[in-house]
Amino acid sequence: MGSAREFPCKFYRGTWTLRTRTGESPLGPVKHTLNGNTGRQLWTFDPAAAPAAWEADALSHFRREYEAMAEVRHHSADEPLRLQALRETGGKRRAAKPLPKGAAEAEQVDASLRHGIGFYGSLQMEDGHWPGDYGGPMFLLPGLVIACYVTETELPAEHRAEMLRYLRNHQNEDGGTGLHIEGHSTMFGTSLNYVAARLLGMAADDPHCLRARAFMHGRGGAVNNTSWAKFWLALLGVYEWRGINPLPPEMWILPYWLIVHPGRFWCHCRMVYLPMSYLYGKRAACPPTPLTEALRKELYVEPYSEIAWEEQRNNCGPADMYVQHHPLQDLLWKVVAAAEPWIPAWLRRRALSWCADMILHEDGSTRHVDIGPVNKAINMVCCWYDDPHGEAFKAHLPRIFDYLWLAEDGMKMQGYNGSQAWDTAFAVQAIAASGLGEEAEVSPILRKAHEYLDASQDHGWPISDCSSEGLKGVIAALGLPGVAALEPERLFDCVNVILSYQNTAEHWGTGGWATYENTRGPAALELLNPSECFGDIVIDYSYCELTCACITALSHFHRRHPGHRTAEISTAIKLGAARNGSATSSGPTARGAWFGVVGLASVGEREATSPHVAKALAFLRSKQLPDGGWGESYLSSSRKEYHHADASQVVNTSWAMLALLAGTEGCDESMAGAAPVLARAAAFLMSMQEPTGDWPQQLISGVFNHNCMITYANYRNIFPLWALGQYRRRLRGEPLPNLDAENLAPCGKSRRGGDTATARGDVEVCTSLEQRQASDMQSVVYGLLDP
């Protein structure tokens, strides 16, 4: 199959640089965009640019430090990005202004904020967005590597070397690899990452491979695997298609009125299974090569020719099994497998043609970025099988690099092509909330960020909470120096999208918001979840976090433009607030409390007037640790019960502070009661701030589908700034921005009538519509794969 599949890894010298607003790529230019590729992130390598001695030494130090601690500290700290920012200042760090001994708390908070904003501003890209690591899942990069191997696409040597560094660094002590960087070893993670390492040039007798093989063979080999792993292995030609539950493309041309039509599935689910079914329908597989023949021997305990493939369809080990197949699902697959040989060839051709058209539509609508990294890689293979020399396949190649991120742990594939608008919208709100936005050193940061939000409104897959946070970011920057207001019609368009996404009774909902679109089917469709390792992937559920983002955005907008769809906005806010206020969870967590409390506070609810807010804040107070912080493990999400982390986390602490500030605002008694809790939390955040103004990267802080964690590297800066900024307002006696004061009831009386309820127990203020997903500190608002 040619030298493109040999993937040699050579030692390289040169300099990595993160660029934005570029249409370039190692595999050709990308198509022109109307916003000039604003927000596009591309790590480029210049072999002729020797780094300065201090930068080379620092990067080498960070890499060695990470490798030494990789088995206990899994998360990288985005050091190459920080070194690049330092490079642009000639290696000079911004020094904090010294405070006099015994400075008052307000002075300390003020100084910490200014230092933190100054540092974070140095990471801002020229187009106004904040870049950052959005990795975490360990099954994404192997899919890309397999797709490149199958399509004979050769990645640059320096990229391959950094990918190998990443795979080595994230092997667990037992030789396996997890579903995500902090997770226990799974067959899914181990088998795919083993294959990726071999395709990238690692020898079979390398200690990394020996340990991984021992892990796999000790657990029955790669047949004991998830359905997604089996798909990738079959595509590579190292697993047989008959060992996979059927994915007939004919299901896509069924009548849409059927409740089980895949068009009713959550968009991430259907956009992954669409190209999967296309390749399954073709039984596409890489022709044998010496390497794939070797992998057939290395992956399994039994000889490849002796494996009973049909018996492996539902064979999945306990380490991977998060969601058991329902017996009805297994029966369905048996019936479909028995019926598939009788499908007429003409019907298969028609179904494949329909799938191919939808794949091309997805590629075109997203400029070949696609909704996420999984279908990006699979769509690329589909286009290659359709025409390896065609423009549809060639247009995919430059966009590979949009998903790649470099850190000191190596090069990874991200959960999207970045979280630029999301992070930037949060950053604008955080910095503006401090009240420092008009100062000369701060206003240019917010002006550039506002310009980025202005340029990034158009999107191939609009999302309810991204739209909401973007709208709030735009509104937060209004009136600041140099910020040009967007045309009202632009804001109206955004509000119209948000309103259209609310799940009312006709959308199997009770007033909440889901991710990308209205819910298209009943929760019973989750019985068809075939993934084994992800929860709640079949339909798009309403979530607390998204609902709160939407009602706060509508509230902020309504104050500025009270004449636009007034009655509809009022009704939408009431329905959303009632939906979240009435939801309770057995797995209370602080991130859900932050979203829930802020959402309810935006419509006038407070601790003294709302039993829901009171319960949430009582929960938060009960979880504060002796050092003043909060710390929660990702296990809260997967196990749906609260799990303390080993130590307090700056991100968790910030979320808790924001909830406490919002829930006690405007009531002297509540504010007085929260004061010592907030003071201890603020002291913790300031004690964790580094001399540079940065905050440390600690545990991973995002999740999708309950069970897979994902990185939001910017949270370590955004949320401490936001919490301390609002706390600064509290210390100065200034009201918090955008909280509804007009509808605020007198302290001690509920707006619904009656006395204030007493908080009882660990009851969380919000959860998903079906009480299936713990709205925990770690959860990703999107709910991706990703999602």
Give the catalytic positions in this structure: 465
Give 413's strand partners.
404
The Cα 89–Cα 637 span in angstroms is: 41
Q: What is the DSSP string of 171-212?
A: --TTS-EESBTTSPEEHHHHHHHHHHHHHTT--TTSHHHHHH
Angle at 205 between CA 200 and CA 209, to 5 degrees: 60
CA 560 to chain centroid, in Å, comes to 31
3-state secondary structure of 186: strand
**Residue of 138, 149, 160 whose CA lies nearest to 26:** 160
Q: Per the structure block, which two tokens stand in for 32?
A: 């022109």
Q: What is the DSSP letter of 181?
A: T
Q: Do residues 188 and 320 touch, judged by C-beta distance below 8 A? A: yes
Helix 668-688 vs helix 105-122: crossing angle, to nearest 10: 50
Residue 749 CA to chain centroid, in angstroms? 40
Computed from CA positions of residues 469, 474, 478, 482, in that sequence, does the dihedral angle turn out positive or negative? positive
What tokens appear for 632 in the block? 């929660």
CA distance 434 to 444: 15
How many residues are recorded in the chain?
787
DSSP 8-state secondary structure symbol assigned to residue 756: P
Do 397 and 28 contact (CB within 8 A), yes or no?
Answer: yes
H helix or E strand, kind and range, residue 44:
strand 42-46
Residue with tokens 């991200």: 414
DSSP label at 380? H
Look at residues 355, 324, 330 and name the one whose alpha carbon lies nearest to residue 245. Answer: 330
**Contact predicate 38/21, CB 8 Å:** yes
Distance CA 168, CA 266 (A): 34
By the 10 Å C-beta count (0-12 exposed, 13-18 middle, 19+ buried), 95 is classed as exposed
198 closest CA partner among 153, 123, 157, 142: 142
Partner residues linked to 749 by β-bridges: 755
Whether the link from the prior residue into 786 is cis, omega within 30° of 0, is yes
Tokens of 475: 């509104």
